[in-house]
Chain A
Amino acid sequence: DIVMTQSPDSLAVSLGERATINCKSSQSVLYSSNNKNDLAWYQQKPGQPPKLLIYWASTRESGVPDRFSGSGSGTDFTLTITSLQAEDVAVYYCHQYNSAPFTFGPGTKVDIK
């Protein structure tokens, strides 16, 4: 199984500042047939299901604000929230869909400082 890890476990950022979350997979999630990384990011607020933000490591889902961006390749990935807004308080999960069983990271909780 591909093991996903994230850092930090939690972070507090001032409104309007940048938040950066890291994700690492235990093996590459690069799909050689299309040269895309099978890595997604989700946002989950209390009592709600996860919401897809980013897929293929850097493609923003339709309707997601452009302050959310993803980068990375192979085994190391980053989610960046530029100019944090109050509504961004949530837990963020990375997720690999390259190899079953599909697995998620442990989550990073983002709060306002």
Chain B
Amino acid sequence: QVQFVQSGAEVKKPAASVKVSCKASGYTFTSYAVHWVRQAPGQRPEWMGWINAGNGNTKYSQKLQGRVTITRDTSASIAYVELRSLTPEDTAVYYCARGKGAGGYDPFDCWGQGTLVTVSS
């Protein structure tokens, strides 16, 4: 079955960077988009960006542009999100999610278990 397994929780100091991984299984990794979505405590989900796992094209939220990078390793079926210049406002659970199609403009039909990133001095 389609499954995503994300890396473990992280605690970072302000101004640091964090990189979260998401290993996919159960489907052809390069045939679908992978999105990253974060959710601060008690808040609605916030879309961060997506990557076409086939050709590597990316699109990012303007709000995070310049601080976020999404990459993938097709040989290992892993997607990554890196967020730089962290502030306490970046404290959230970070999710990877599969787009239902390859093009990015699709609902998210399978989600990782989430990775808690805490930013605190």
- Closest residue to B64 on the A side, CB-wise? A101
Give every chain B residue within 8 A of A104 (Cβ-Cβ).
Answer: 44-47
Give every chain A residue within 8 A of B45 (Cβ-Cβ).
Answer: 50, 93, 95, 104
- Closest residue to B42 on the A side, CB-wise? A107
Total interface residues on A, CB under 8 Å, equals: 22
* Residue from the set A97, A100, A102, A106 with the largest chain B CB neighbour count within 10 Å: A102
User: Would you call B89 an interface residue if the criterion is a C-beta within 8 Å of the partner chain's C-beta atoms?
Assistant: no
User: Would you call A61 an interface residue if the criterion is a C-beta within 8 Å of the partner chain's C-beta atoms?
Assistant: yes
Distance in angstroms from B76 CB to nearest chain A CB is: 22
Interface string of B21-50 (1 = CB under 8 A from A): 000000000000001000000001111000
Q: Which of B47, B95, B112 contacts A101 (CB 8 A)?
A: B47
Contact between chains at B108 and A106 (CB < 8 Å): no
